[in-house]
Amino acid sequence: MNENIIILTGGSRGIGHATSKKFWEEGWRVITCSRTEVAPQCPWEKNKTDHFQIDLEDLDDLRKKVKDLQALLKGKPVKALINNAAISPKNEKNNRLNFDETDLNLWQKVFNVNFFSPIILSKSLIPNLQSANGVIINITSIASDMVHEFAGPAYATSKAALKSLTREMASDLSQYNIRVNAIAPGEIETSMITKNSQHLIKQIPMGRFGKPEEVASVIFSMCSESFSYVNGTEIQINGGQTV
């Protein structure tokens, strides 16, 4: 029997961890990466062999690890690629790093993780995704479209670029039967939310932050046949924060 394979960046915690757990519980083989070793709370079968320890800031290392990933896959079809890992650097008070405080080196690091890594991974996996009629989901952000009190301009522009890239990839990869969509979370309870963020609840009609599991279940649905004609779009998961 063919196994359903999902590859997900940033699986060690937050939305990535909840998503890995959801797919694993649904019987998928889950291949992850993060800077840390496989997290103790990740109970999946093969979690040691199916986890890549990598810092996505280092694109040369990513290109090497992509070869290791291909060796592990041995040409197998890949049903889903979730470009989830991201960084959102803050200032020393854990607040927004403004335009005038962001040096170009940091800007480059943010783009390496948040924008160029998804390009490298997605390109390398086209044949595997094609043979599964697979799906790519890019995790963007509410900050792609509006100034955010905590997400600085390097993060926001990297996510806006990823949102545009989603449209371009959807157009170009349809010929291979690969669908490409994005999800844009609002305020989700992970390490990206700081204790300074609590007052943002007032901006959310539902009156609470979202849970990583609520994002994971949308991602799972988007990888199912129910979404077979959804392509090139971004789904917002923010409790109505942008209404």
Ligand X SMILES: NC(=O)c1ccc[n+]([C@@H]2O[C@H](COP(=O)([O-])OP(=O)(O)OC[C@H]3O[C@@H](n4cnc5c(N)ncnc54)[C@H](OP(=O)(O)O)[C@@H]3O)[C@@H](O)[C@H]2O)c1
Active site residues: 155
Q: Please state, in angstroms and rounded to a whole number, the distance separating the CA atoms of residues 65 and 61.
A: 6
36 binds ligand X (CB under 6 A): yes
152 binds ligand X (CB under 6 A): no
56 binds ligand X (CB under 6 A): yes
31 binds ligand X (CB under 6 A): no
Return the number of the residue (60 or 225) whose C-beta is nearest ligand X.
Answer: 60
Q: Which stretch binds ligand X (CB under 6 A): 28-36, 64-72, 98-106, 217-225?
A: 28-36
- Buried-exposed string 9-28: b where 16+ CB fall within 10 A, e elsewhere: bbbbbbbbbbbbbbbbeeeb
Shortest distance in whole angstroms from residue 48 CB to ligand X: 15
Shortest distance in whole angstroms from residue 175 CB to ligand X: 27
Q: What angle do CA 91, 94, 100 make, to 5 degrees?
A: 25
Member of 24, 57, 132, 145 binding ligand X (CB under 6 A): 57
DSSP run (H or E) holding 52: strand 51-53
Q: Which stretch binds ligand X (CB under 6 A): 10-18, 93-101, 164-172, 228-236?
A: 10-18
- Nearest Cα neighbor of 49 from 23, 71, 31, 76 is 31
226 binds ligand X (CB under 6 A): no
HSE value, Cβ hemisphere, 13 Å, CA-based, for 202: 3
Q: Please state, in angstroms and rounded to a whole number, the distance separating the CA atoms of residues 50 and 72.
A: 8
What distance, in Å, lies between the first and last C-alpha atoms of the chain?
Answer: 45
Shortest distance in whole angstroms from residue 104 CB to ligand X: 18
CA distances from 81 to 5, 21, 166 (A): 9, 15, 13
Phi and psi at residue 31, in whole multiples of 5°?
A: -110, 125
Structure tokens at 160: 């806006």
Return the number of the residue (82 or 178) whose C-beta is nearest ligand X.
Answer: 82
Member of 14, 118, 153, 239 binding ligand X (CB under 6 A): 14
84 binds ligand X (CB under 6 A): yes
156 binds ligand X (CB under 6 A): no
Residues between 100 and 119 that touch ligand X (CB under 6 A): 113
193 binds ligand X (CB under 6 A): yes
Shortest distance in whole angstroms from residue 191 CB to ligand X: 4
- Interface residues with ligand X (CB under 6 A) are 10-16, 33-36, 54-57, 84-87, 113, 139, 141-142, 185, 187-188, 190-193
